[in-house]
Amino acid sequence: MIPGTSPARQAPWRLELARAIVDPEELLRLLELPDALLPAARRAHAVFPLRVPRPYLARMAKGDARDPLLRQVLPLAAEEAVVPGFGPDPVQDLAAHAAPGVLRKYAGRVLLTATGACGVHCRYCFRRHFPYEEANAARERFAAPLAYLAAHTDLHEVILSGGDPLTLRDEKLAEFVSGLRGVPHIRRLRVHTRLPVVVPSRVDDELLAWLGQSPVPVILVLHINHAREIDEPLRAACARLRASGVTLLNQAVLLSGVNDDLETLVALSEGLMDAGVLPYYLHMLDPVAGAAHFAVGETQARALLAGLRARLPGYLVPRLAREEPGASAKTILL
């Protein structure tokens, strides 16, 4: 056997993913929540399965069905509501596929849907109805996307997205990063991920090794929606990433019942800065079917942003943004 390839050695983060909570009944039991929530949770789970890693669960309050972290992952009866304007492909990703797993919708940048897998299933996710099987950029060592990048010299940034690209094995990601050496017009690598948030042990030596070997600067955009998601293990993971030269930004989604009040958003920006992460976007909810109960109106969103500007230095105020189908950039609301 080749040293280091022993099947007995599973990275701790992979073990965490394997033991994530995927049964609504177990989630309710562990959090000491009433059984009355179970029938609806089971129905919504049949449409988009529950998935909650234990390190994320550990940050939730017991006995509180309205906990802002729980609300992001608990399947609810409200998901069954049919609401006009909320559909299966709100940002029309299906229309933007340039090659397998290659989404071409922003000028100069290209988005690779590297995998359909995620470490956590967020109930508001716009990809909950996405046909992932057709969007696997990581197949055959990223051959199709690397060929696409090489053929398009107008591209300067590659964005690994998903699903969650950090659910891929480090060997695969390392191959992609070394493949970038053959595409000199690519000047930046960006990775959008929520995995280090929900499983901080994802930031391990193997991850830092390929990040450190990138021929271009790496920007990691974390998806943190609430200050209580930032615990000591996550702060330590962020410190290691920063020490490796990675730029850390955050993209939050404005979610009713999670972070739609001023104090919560101030605490989020300050918590991010304490962890060495700059707030980048505060995203309006994409109108995906099953997530209408998370929607925050534009008037309230603008008022919250004005409140943040009155309270915080400019660099701690995220850009309030919305994805418009077919547009070549996000629309900035404020």
Ligand X SMILES: *Cc1c(COP(=O)(O)O)cnc(C)c1O
**Position among 16, 67, 93, 164 found at the interface with ligand SF4 (CB under 6 A):** 164
Residue 96 CB, nearest approach to ligand X (Å): 12
β pairing state of 247-253 and 278-283: parallel
What does residue 157 show for φ and ψ, rounded to 5 degrees? -140, 135
Closest listed residue to residue 229, CA positions, set 69, 5, 78: 69
Residue 305 sits in the site that holds ligand X (CB under 6 A): no
242 in Cβ contact with 211 (< 8 Å): no
Instruction: Pick the stretch among 11-19, 89-97, 99-107, 121-129 that binds ligand SF4 (CB under 6 A).
Output: 121-129
User: Please, which residue, 59 or 223, has the CB nearer to ligand SF4?
Assistant: 223
148 in Cβ contact with 198 (< 8 Å): no
Question: Which of ligand SF4, ligand X, none binds 286 (CB below 5-8 Å, type-dependent)?
Answer: none
Closest listed residue to residue 135, CA positions, set 116, 158, 110, 161: 116
105 in Cβ contact with 98 (< 8 Å): no
53 in Cβ contact with 119 (< 8 Å): yes
The size of the interface with ligand X (CB under 6 A), counted in residues, is 8
CB neighbours (10 Å) of residue 72? 26
The whole-angstrom separation of Cα 66 and Cα 283 is 22
Both tokens of 235, joined, read 């702060």
The whole-angstrom separation of Cα 312 and Cα 122 is 28
Question: Which of ligand SF4, ligand X, none binds 194 (CB below 5-8 Å, type-dependent)?
Answer: ligand SF4
Residue 221 CB, nearest approach to ligand X (Å): 7
Residue 234 sits in the site that holds ligand SF4 (CB under 6 A): no
Instruction: Pick the stretch among 115-123, 176-184, 283-291, 313-321 that binds ligand SF4 (CB under 6 A).
Output: 115-123
**Position among 127, 152, 190, 226 found at the interface with ligand SF4 (CB under 6 A):** 127
Q: Where are the alpha helices (DSSP H) in 182-261?
A: 195-198, 205-212, 232-243
The whole-angstrom separation of Cα 191 and Cα 218 is 8
Question: Which of ligand SF4, ligand X, none binds 120 (CB below 5-8 Å, type-dependent)?
Answer: ligand SF4
User: Please, which residue, 235 or 319, has the CB nearer to ligand X?
Assistant: 319
Residue 193 sits in the site that holds ligand X (CB under 6 A): no
The whole-angstrom separation of Cα 171 and Cα 175 is 6
Residue 105 sits in the site that holds ligand SF4 (CB under 6 A): no
Question: Which of ligand X, ligand SF4, none binds 121 (CB below 5-8 Å, type-dependent)?
Answer: ligand SF4
Residue 195 CB, nearest approach to ligand SF4 (Å): 7
**Position among 41, 44, 102, 111 found at the interface with ligand X (CB under 6 A):** 111
Both tokens of 268, joined, read 């989020």
The whole-angstrom separation of Cα 181 and Cα 164 is 23
User: Please, which residue, 236 or 327, has the CB nearer to ligand X?
Assistant: 327
What's the full length of the chain, in residues?
Answer: 334
DSSP single-letter state for residue 63: T
Would you give the binding string for ligand SF4 spanning residues 281-300, x where CB under 6 A is met? --------------------
Residue 162 sits in the site that holds ligand SF4 (CB under 6 A): yes
Residue 214 CB, nearest approach to ligand X (Å): 18
Residue 250 CB, nearest approach to ligand X (Å): 12
Q: Which residues sit at the interface with ligand SF4, rule CB under 6 A?
A: 118, 120-122, 125, 127, 162-164, 194, 223
